[in-house]
A and B are shown apart, each in its own frame.
Chain A
């Protein structure tokens, strides 16, 4: 925040037109869709954390009364609010615990992807030359990979566990971030204040961390938020294909995978976990989009 004092006199010189620009948070809070998204995220996180207290059942407990006499799953009813699955397990409980899987993968995989993308994009954009060219050609190469096919192959190579799935998604998903940050860094690196820092004798590490990175924080936040949505969808897809998170660990994708053969008779087994995936992906998309509008000055006033 030490920068603010430096810019204050400049701002005083500018003609005052309209109200003072408010903080990012205040502007974000004015957007209903962003609030809606944030609310949904908070609800999902709360559901995942409080799962043991929200439901009387265990996610892997196969209950005798959870099946009809002929062994069919129960539709939503008073005891099992969202019905039961093919093994007589409570669907709501599995969805609540499945939220943990989605959130852990969403945060971890996306976090790793952001770190890889930032390191590659920023260093390639700052150093340019041979090093930058090699990194960016590698990024181009990764973009030519059919991402889902690559993820499927990787998931098939390593025996899928929660952490392996997170790694696989990270390996596939860092590319976009790297490209965006590369472009921003190349234009930043040519600005006067970077040249001034160099003249003053600052080392590369200091320039990158103290001067380039802070300028990229808004972009990183936006891509980080939108990326969680992509990650959640990719995890669900891999688990749906049976090569993501493995049962009995509940994941929204593998709940559908386990029950899809039965979906004509028991559509709730696809509908509710599907709705959960949609809600989580939607909420991060809404929040990320609003953040982009709020954080990116060139987008201001377009809506």
Chain B
């Protein structure tokens, strides 16, 4: 186990190194010149050159990358070109909002997805089952920005139940969480259904029924806990999916998280911020996948980590 963990962590570091390398070179291939952005339109050639030197952008790319890496291992993500603030500080200020949003989305996925899945499995083959599974397909196929705009229109503009956008109270959290979580709810309900169907077929369920336990007890005590575990293991994978979704959801709802930070930075060619957010996202994805893999053998002891 320890050996496995160490190897996985080492591979993770290599993966993150690769991500940083590729992102770095992609961003510096951008046709837009960040120095021009900083200096403004009326800047003289001399000013532009000065800024370029100041930022070290006149150095060869590999030298720049090496500098970035040495900063990185000391926990320094560099400074924003435009705001002159440490990227680390900027991200740290925005991260809690994004994490809150993701937690809300996971809650939505679990509540909606698991409930739908369990009901569908128990009513297998009926119209209820069919309807729920079509609903799950709709959830998986719905573009997040459309869901977000529609929810805003119906529940904020027309009904006035929730605020139109922004951040602060619990009411602000509801619509963005549902928007971010609706796709996952679709996947969870499908996984939960098939997991539950498998468990309900198992011998120990037949035994439990045969020894006279009530249906309710069999389902809640014997079937549900076993069926739910493999689905829970997927939460780690979700983090990776969220990292893309938050850019869209945060921009629709004006949610002040790292997705919006990245989106603004991309529009302003603020490369250090884009680098920073990409790396933080990649970290989250790697950790999420690792967690998912570590949880699996706890749930199913037949699976051994190699």
Contact = CB atoms under 8 A, between A and B. Distances in A.
Q: Do A and B come from one complex?
A: yes
Interface of A: 33, 137-138, 140-141, 143-150, 152-154, 156-157, 159, 229, 233, 236-237, 240-241, 253, 256, 260, 263-264, 267, 270-271, 274, 277-278, 281-282, 285-286, 289, 302
Contacts of A253: 143
B145 A237 contact: yes
Interface string B116-146: 0000000000000000001001101111111
Given A141-B19, A240-B248, A157 B194 contact: no
Interface residues of B, number: 48
A281 B281 contact: no
B247 interface: yes
Contacts of A149: 243-244, 247, 262, 274, 277-278, 281
Interface stretch (B23-31, B56-64, B79-87): B23-31
Contacts of B289: 143-144
28 contacts: A137-B15, A141-B15, A144-B19, A144-B286, A145-B278, A146-B243, A147-B244, A148-B245, A149-B244, A150-B23, A152-B263, A153-B266, A153-B278, A156-B30, A156-B266, A157-B26, A157-B29, A240-B145, A241-B248, A241-B251, A256-B145, A270-B146, A271-B150, A274-B150, A281-B142, A282-B137, A285-B141, A289-B137
B197 interface: yes
Contacts of B297: none
Given A144-B285, A281-B143, 12 more contacts: A138-B18, A141-B18, A144-B16, A144-B18, A144-B240, A145-B285, A149-B247, A149-B262, A149-B278, A154-B26, A256-B149, A281-B142
A138 B16 CA distance: 12
Contacts of B19: 141, 144-145
Contacts of A274: 143, 146, 149-150
Contacts of B22: 141, 145
B285 A143 contact: yes
B171 interface: no
Contact of B146 (A148, A241, A277, A282): A277
Contacts of A281: 141-143
A180 to B, nearest CB: 15
Q: Is chain B's binding surface mostly helix, strand, loop or mixed?
A: helix
B120 to A, nearest CB: 11
Name the residue among A33, A145, A240, A285 with the largest chain B CB count within 10 angstroms: A145
Contacts of B223: none
Given A146-B278, A157-B26, A237-B145, A270 B248 contact: no
Contacts of A233: 141, 143
A298 to B, nearest CB: 12
Contacts of A237: 143-145, 248
Contacts of A147: 244
B153 interface: yes
A270 B150 contact: yes
B282 interface: yes
A150 B274 CA distance: 10
Interface in B5-48: 11, 14-16, 18-19, 22-23, 26-27, 29-32
A264 B146 CA distance: 13
A253 B149 CA distance: 13
B141 A278 contact: yes
B103 interface: no
Nearest to B252: A260
B270 to A, nearest CB: 12
Contacts of B278: 145-146, 149-150, 153
B157 interface: yes
A146 B285 contact: yes
Given A146-B244, A302-B194, A157 B30 contact: yes
A280 to B, nearest CB: 8
A263 B149 contact: yes
Name the residue among A146, A153, A236, A260 with the largest chain B CB count within 10 angstroms: A146
Contacts of B26: 153-154, 157
A289 B186 CA distance: 13
A241 B244 CA distance: 13
A236 B142 CA distance: 11
Contacts of A241: 247-248, 251, 263
Contacts of B30: 156-157
A50 B157 CA distance: 37
Contacts of B277: 149
Contacts of B31: 157, 159
A81 B304 CA distance: 60
Contacts of A263: 149, 153
B141 A229 contact: yes
Interface in B268-286: 274, 277-278, 281-282, 285-286
